[in-house]
Homo-oligomer: A and B are copies of this chain.
């Protein structure tokens, strides 16, 4: 299949590579061209603009940082979209924006899916991402064979924007469970316990979570290498708080964690992994 891939960063590059290796023809575009160029070794063509990449494509993927980035790409490719072209945005953006983009693309008789992912760089490399998809079901069915190359748990959530809304719901649990893990490890330490032994004792029971079991050991080791960046989680929480306001949904714990992540940023942890939230609590507790 003839595919355009816009955005070849930490997530986008390994995802595009999986499609290349599955035998698809991929034309890549990235603002920093060198990053797209790296895919040429796997057989990708490299384009000078999103429109050039999209011109001959049956499917256009976008995997870029934020809402305005996706909007800009759609602005640029709109003139070359043909009837039936499938635009699949795998970035995490505002659900309301995804709905507007779907309308915009529909005006060209093309189809738009919002298909954000969870699972990070390892999931992108191994093709084990969780993918939450909103849009027309018929478009989802057409996209399915390609999405199967990228992810493992792929769920059709409903109309335009519902993939993004699901991703935001996902990020509530990610952020609040992360804070739970950070507080648990802090009391374990200050309560005089061996925190690694605590993880072993409680990780499989009612206290268990992906965040505790995967980030707990890094919190203990003060290993703040990413993983998933504080900066990007802050972006997701901005979208989340917007969606909460639009739907008048009180999310008190999420609001609290939002504030603590702002502190993490203020303390210089934007480029660290999300487990660096532990440093904020440690600083509050007077620890170095």
Indicate whether A209 reaches chain B with its CB closer than 8 angstroms.
Answer: yes
Which of A162, A204, A209, A285 has most B Cβ within 10 Å? A209
Q: Is the CB of B166 within 8 A of A130?
A: no
Q: Is the CB of B253 within 8 A of A183?
A: yes
A221-253 with Cβ < 8 A to chain B: 228, 240, 243-244, 247-253
Hey, which chain B residues are within 8 Å of A184, CB to CB?
169-170, 172-173
What is the minimal beta-carbon distance from A26 to any residue of chain B, in angstroms?
A: 26
Query: What number of A residues sit within 8 Å (CB to CB) of B?
Result: 69
Name the CB-closest residue of B to A171.
B207
Interface of A is mostly: helix
What is the minimal beta-carbon distance from A201 to any residue of chain B, in angstroms?
A: 4
CA distance A271 to B50 in the complex (A): 59
Hey, which chain B residues are within 8 Å of A176, CB to CB?
176-177, 179-180, 183, 253
CA distance A224 to B276 in the complex (A): 36
Q: Is the CB of B211 within 8 A of A210?
A: no
Q: Is the CB of B174 within 8 A of A206?
A: yes
Can you tell how many copies of this chain the complex includes?
2
CA distance A137 to B180 in the complex (A): 30
Task: Give the contacting residue for A187; candidates B206, B208, B247, B281; CB below 8 A.
Answer: B247
CB pairs A–B below 8 angstroms (25 shown): A118-B207, A120-B206, A158-B192, A158-B193, A162-B192, A165-B188, A165-B191, A170-B184, A170-B206, A172-B207, A173-B209, A176-B179, A176-B183, A177-B207, A179-B253, A180-B253, A183-B254, A191-B243, A191-B247, A206-B211, A249-B285, A252-B281, A252-B284, A253-B253, A253-B256
With contacts A206-B211, A253-B253 known, what are 16 further pairs, Cβ within 8 A? A119-B205, A130-B204, A157-B194, A162-B192, A165-B187, A166-B201, A168-B187, A170-B201, A172-B180, A173-B181, A173-B207, A173-B209, A183-B253, A205-B210, A209-B211, A252-B281
Q: A residues touching B (Cβ–Cβ < 8 Å)?
A: 95, 118-120, 130, 132, 153, 155, 157-158, 162, 165-166, 168-174, 176-177, 179-181, 183-184, 186-188, 190-194, 197-198, 200-202, 204-212, 214, 228, 240, 243-244, 247-254, 256-257, 260, 281, 284-286
